[in-house]
């Protein structure tokens, strides 16, 4: 699935899903992921005062897991403000841990550029061979 098609899908989420109270905001950022079986799942961010929220990527990944899939080919995350968002460390970690093949997951960081999980996650806390002892 190409960038324009993914953008079309994820824009429907970010512009139609919004929830806000004085303690919670949801839907300002949305993500779409494509699995190895070419299914797509969407999610929105949930920001809470007490840090119990979640990112759009993890929200989409939870939908995927609910449907017994774990291998991701591509992810696009956008904000209502017009920006393409790279994943945070927690999202990278979740995606890495649910399936070892996700090291090849491509994340859009611009319209014309993707980086895979290993390129975004330079240091890996599980890779003891690349760590230095004190």
Question: What mean pLDDT do residues 35-55 have?
Answer: 91
Instruction: Say what the pLDDT of residue 121 is.
Output: 84
Per the prediction, the chain carries an average pLDDT of: 89
Going from the N-terminus, what domains does the chain have, and what CATH number goes with each? 3-130 (3.40.140.10)
pTM attached to this predicted model: 0.88
Residue 91: half-sphere exposure toward Cβ, Cα within 13 Å: 26
Res. 64 pLDDT band, cuts 50 70 90? very high
Q: How far apart, in whole angstroms, are the C-alpha atoms of residue 29 and residue 75?
A: 13
| Residue 114 CA: distances (Å) to CA of 1, 16, 96, 109 | 13, 26, 17, 6
Question: What mean pLDDT do residues 64-70 have?
Answer: 98
More confident residue, 127 or 26: 26
């Amino acid at each position: 699935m190409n960038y324009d098609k993914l953008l079309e899908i994820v824009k429907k989420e970010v512009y139609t899903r919004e929830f806000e109270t004085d303690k919670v905001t949801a839907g300002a950022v949305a993500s779409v992921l494509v699995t190895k079986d070419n299914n797509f799942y969407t999610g929105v961010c949930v920001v809470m005062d007490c840090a119990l929220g979640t990112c759009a990527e993890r929200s989409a990944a939870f939908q995927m897991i609910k449907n017994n899939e774990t291998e991701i080919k591509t992810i696009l995350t956008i904000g209502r403000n017009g920006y393409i968002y790279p994943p945070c460390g927690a999202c990278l970690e979740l995606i890495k841990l649910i399936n070892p093949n996700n090291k090849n997951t491509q994340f859009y960081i611009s319209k014309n550029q993707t980086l895979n999980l290993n390129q975004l996650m330079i240091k890996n806390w599980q890779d003891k061979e690349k760590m230095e002892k004190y």
